[in-house]
A and B are shown apart, each in its own frame.
Chain A
Amino acid sequence: MTVPPLTAPGSGGGLLDVARRRYLLRLLVRRELRSRYQGSLLGLGWSYVRPAVNFAVYFFVVGIFLKMSKSIPGYPVFLFSGMVLVSFFTEMLITSTWSVIGNAPLVQKIYLPREMFPVSSALVSAVHMVPGMAILWGGALLGGWRPSTLAFGSMALGLAIVAVLGLAFGLLFAGINVFFRDFGQVVDILNIVIPWTAPMIYPWTAVQDSAGNGLGLQIYLSNPLGTATLLFQRAFWWPADPRQAHLPDGTPTFPDGRHAFPDHLTVRGLGSLLAAVVLLGLAQMVFFRLQRRFAQEL
Chain B
Amino acid sequence: MESIVVDGVTKRFTLRHAHSIKEMTVRAARRQSLSERFTALDEVSVTVEQGESLALMGLNGSGKSTLLKLISGVMQPDAGSVGVRGRVAGLIEVGAGLHPDLTGKENIFLNAAILGMSKAETQARYDEIIAFSEIEKFLDTQVKFYSSGMFMRLGFSVAVHTDPDVFLVDEVLAVGDPPFQKKCLERIEQLHGEGRTLVIVSHDMGTLEKVCGRGVVLREGRVAFEGEITEAVDFLNPPDGPLDAARRQRGREEARLAAATLKAEKAAAAEAAELIEELMPGATALSDPQATLEYALSLAEGQEGMALEFGVFSGRTLRTITAARDGKNVFGFDSFEGLPEDWREGFPAGTFAVDAPPEVLGAELVVGLFEDTLPGFLDEHPEPVAFLHLDADLYSSTRTVLRHVGPRLRPGSVVVFDEFFGYPGWREHEYRAWTEYVERAGLRFRYEGYTRGNEQVILRITER
Contacts and interface: CB of A to CB of B under 8 A. Distances in A.
Interface of A: 3-11, 21, 23-24, 27-28, 31, 34-35, 38, 105-112, 181, 292-293, 295-296
B451 to A, nearest CB: 40
Interface string B1-15: 110010000000100
B99 to A, nearest CB: 5
Contacts of B70: 9
B85 A111 contact: no
Interface in B65-82: 69-76, 81-82
A6 B75 contact: no
A8 B85 contact: no
Interface residues of B, number: 37
Nearest to A105: B96
Nearest to A109: B96
B-side interface mostly: mixed
Contacts of A8: 73, 81-84
A100 B343 CA distance: 66
B102 A31 contact: yes
Interface string B71-110: 1111110000111111010101100110101100010011
Contacts of B118: 23
Contacts of B321: none
A10 B76 contact: yes
29 contacts: A4-B85, A5-B85, A6-B2, A8-B73, A8-B83, A8-B84, A9-B72, A9-B88, A10-B72, A21-B113, A24-B114, A27-B110, A27-B113, A34-B102, A34-B106, A35-B99, A38-B101, A106-B114, A107-B74, A109-B93, A109-B96, A110-B74, A110-B96, A110-B97, A110-B115, A111-B72, A111-B73, A111-B74, A296-B75
A40 to B, nearest CB: 11
B101 to A, nearest CB: 4
A95 B165 CA distance: 35
A109 B74 contact: yes
A35 B113 CA distance: 18
A6 B115 contact: no
Contacts of B115: 110
User: Considering residues B74, B75, B84, B115, which has the most beta carbons from chain A within 10 angstroms of its beta carbon?
Assistant: B74
A9 B89 CA distance: 11
Contacts of A296: 13, 75
Nearest to B93: A109
Given A110-B115, A295-B75, A6 B110 contact: no
Contacts of A181: 19
Contacts of B464: none
A41 to B, nearest CB: 16
Contact of B83 (A6, A111, A295): A6
Interface of B: 1-2, 5, 13, 19, 69-76, 81-86, 88, 90, 92-93, 96-97, 99, 101-102, 106, 109-110, 113-115, 118-119, 165
User: Considering residues B5, B69, B118, B119, which has the most beta carbons from chain A within 10 angstroms of its beta carbon?
Assistant: B69
Given A10-B75, A23-B113, A3 B84 contact: no
A35 to B, nearest CB: 4
Given A4-B85, A31-B102, A23 B119 contact: yes
Contacts of A34: 101-102, 106
A86 to B, nearest CB: 30
Given A3-B85, A110-B90, A35 B101 contact: yes
Nearest to B86: A4
B5 A6 contact: yes
Given A8-B73, A35-B102, A292-B76, 10 more contacts: A4-B165, A6-B2, A6-B85, A23-B118, A34-B102, A35-B99, A105-B96, A108-B96, A109-B74, A110-B72
Contacts of B2: 6
Nearest to B83: A6
A168 to B, nearest CB: 24
